[in-house]
Amino acid sequence: MLKNVLGSALRITAVTWALCGLAYPLAVNGLSQMLFPGQANGSLLSDDDGKPLGSSLIGQDWSGAQWFHGRPSGTTDTDPQDPSKTIAAPYNAASSNGSNLGPTSKALSERLQADRRELEKVQPELAGKPLPADMLTTSASGLDPDISPANALLQAARVAKARGVAQDSLRALIAQNTQEPSLGIFGEPRVNVLELNQTLQKTYPAHGR
């Protein structure tokens, strides 16, 4: 009796493993590679030589004046000097998180004010002007790859100056790279920073990151 029960259990286990552990994953992977190869492989973008530049789904740290910058990131990493503590590590894909600071937080207020001062040093024309929220605030994930068109347009003056390009030309690039809400109703218009910078570099080459 026990032998029959064990035999049945082993057969069921083997069949379940073959179907769910092998057949199903292979079938799903095969279909995704045929129907959506880009998404299945991480939505990677590559340069003209085929070298991966990054994923269009994950934000990156663009710090040079010649680039459009992404939304600030609040991700952290382990402090190498003290493993019990964390340190700021912008766009750390292994530690997706926001700052979790509320609107009444003094630390948040001080950080926003400091970031605004730094921004106005680089772009004095923005002093005292209302700014899109995503220009200074972090997202919940800390890895948001997109910015609002308004954010991108305000950065156009800095990028144009750094690259020696007319602002109107950059505004046209922003318009070309603006994605409308999904199905026309879900989400907001957005600009993928990696895709925009890739187009920018191909159209108006510059050196450095």
Rounded to 10 degrees, the C-alpha dihedral 61/65/69/75 comes to: 30
**Selection from 177, 175, 171 nearest residue 154 by Cα:** 171
Rounded to 10 degrees, the C-alpha dihedral 19/23/24/28 comes to: 180
Query: Tokens 């920018």 correspond to what residue?
Result: 200
Read off the DSSP letter of residue 81. Answer: T
Show pLDDT as tens, one digit a residue, over the chain (209 residues).
Answer: 667 777 787 888 888 887 788 778 877 877 677 765 666 666 777 777 777 777 888 999 998 999 999 999 989 888 888 988 888 888 998 888 877 788 889 988 999 999 999 999 999 999 989 999 999 999 889 899 999 999 999 999 999 999 999 999 999 999 999 999 988 888 899 999 999 999 999 999 986 55
Query: Tokens 């108006």 correspond to what residue?
Result: 204
Parse the chain into domains and list their residue ranges: 2-40, 44-203
User: Which residue type occupies 73?
Assistant: S
Secondary structure (3-state) at 144? coil
